[in-house]
Amino acid sequence: RIEIRSRTKTTTITSNSTANIDNDGEIEKRQGMDRETEDGLLNEEDEGGILIHFLEVYQKSINATQEAEVASGIEISGETKPGSVVLIGGQNVNVLENGFFQHFETTFEGKRRITIRSTNEGQSLEKTIDVNVNISNPELAVDNNQGQLFVGEPIYNLSLQASDATPGDILNVYINNRLSSTGLSPLIVQEPVSLTNGRNQVKIEVRDAVAHSITQTLEVIYDGEAPNVRILSGLDDILPDTPFGDLPPATPDFPYTIVPRAIYGLVVDKEPSSGIKELVINGERVTVRPDGSFNYTYYFQRAQLQQRYRELRAQGGGEIIIPIKIEVEDQAGNRFIDESYNILMRAFGN
């Protein structure tokens, strides 16, 4: 019979049984072996005192989630019969005189299985370790990401792509702390987000299978009200019966046949204001100052007005209406159109 002892346990088995003590001191049976050392490890011998071939690998599986864990490779260590040839992942590993071996395996992202083979006098034993290396943080790309967004509708159509360098990594996308989507990298997510009037925070978080994460917060401003325009001066009627007496005389910049009329106004956009995108008056784009004010010059064709004025007087009088069409749009897409303004010239009959 064979007696096997460890620091914590002793058992007796027959010579045809097997025994193995794992790291917790538990005992398994192994073919005819007696392993005992001062440090509690076991020597394996048959009844003739000859050590038989064996292979122990201390790691059952390896999960590496931090870069520091794999900076110099993944450690694989174990014990085999002294004099054995050990290959780890096809690479020859140095075996010490007492049969111990240690190896740092080069790593790369993803899952793989590493084979450890020990050969001695024609006998080979194999064990495998499942390795999962996941040290990359997820990446996040949001469409139309300008840091601050203005929308004219109470719904923001969020569109994003989440990815991770680790092959086969599972990603979870959270929008405002609610799980929105789960899937393999790359993961495309499109989701409408409800907004309240004013400023809204949209928090996006992507987590991978080992809790690496990336977070991005968008500020989306819901501006649901269009701006409007006030004309403050320049729309005075042309004086009756003296249609050109109130217009300035000709200058080198403005010949006698073309007469300017300066119009001054103000664009009013209530908060939350997304800002003015453009102001167009009678088809002409007008610059809006930071305070919302603007100037626009309307050019009269003097000869045409004079001719029309004479015709109206001959017909017994009438009005000439010069329309002023105003269009203004803010950055959120809200549009305001006003065609109520005009310049009026009256002609009385002869």
Grade residue 47 by pLDDT with cuts at 50, 70 and 90.
Answer: very low
Q: What 3-state DSSP class applies to 212? A: coil
- Domain end marker among 222, 254, 281: 222
Eight-class DSSP state of 95: B
Same domain, yes or no, for 180 and 299?
no
Average pLDDT, the chain: 81
- Domain end marker among 133, 168, 184: 133
Q: Number of folded domains in the chain?
A: 3
pLDDT digits (tens, 9 = 90+) for 165-196: 999 899 999 999 999 999 998 999 999 999 99
- Domain end marker among 222, 241, 267: 222
pLDDT at 325: 95
pLDDT at 15: 35
pLDDT at 255: 61
Selection from 220, 223, 204, 222 nearest residue 144 by Cα: 220
Contact (Cβ atoms closer than 8 angstroms) between residue 32 and residue 47: yes
> Over pLDDT 70: what percentage of the chain?
78
Same domain, yes or no, for 36 and 129?
yes
More confident residue, 239 or 274: 274
Same domain, yes or no, for 13 and 52?
yes
pLDDT at 119: 96
Same domain, yes or no, for 49 and 122?
yes
178: left (phi over 0), alpha (psi -120 to 50) or beta: beta
Whether the full predicted model's pTM is greater than 0.75, yes or no, is no
Q: Which residues contact 189 (CB under 8 A, 6 or more apart)?
A: 158, 159, 160, 161, 162, 173, 175, 180, 181
Same domain, yes or no, for 147 and 218?
yes
pLDDT at 30: 39
pLDDT digits (tens, 9 = 90+) for 101-159: 999 988 888 899 999 999 999 899 999 999 999 999 999 999 866 556 888 889 999 99
Q: Domain containing 199: what range? A: 139-222
Q: What is the CATH number of the domain that holds 282?
A: 2.60.40
Q: What 3-state DSSP class applies to 238? A: strand
Same domain, yes or no, for 255 and 331?
yes
| Alpha-carbon gap, residue 69 to 104, rounded angstroms | 11
Same domain, yes or no, for 155 and 242?
no
Contact (Cβ atoms closer than 8 angstroms) between residue 202 and residue 218: yes
| Alpha-carbon gap, residue 288 to 260, rounded angstroms | 20
Phi, psi at 73, each rounded to 5°: 100, 170
More confident residue, 46 or 37: 46
Same domain, yes or no, for 122 and 215?
no
pLDDT digits (tens, 9 = 90+) for 215-257: 999 989 888 888 999 999 988 877 655 555 555 566 666 566 6
Selection from 206, 202, 187 nearest residue 156 by Cα: 202
Average pLDDT for residues 288-310, to the nearest whole number?
85
Joined together, the tokens standing for residue 204 give 């996006």
Contact (Cβ atoms closer than 8 angstroms) between residue 34 and residue 4: yes
Q: What is the CATH number of the domain that holds 197?
A: 2.60.40.10
Average pLDDT for residues 246-275, to the nearest whole number?
76
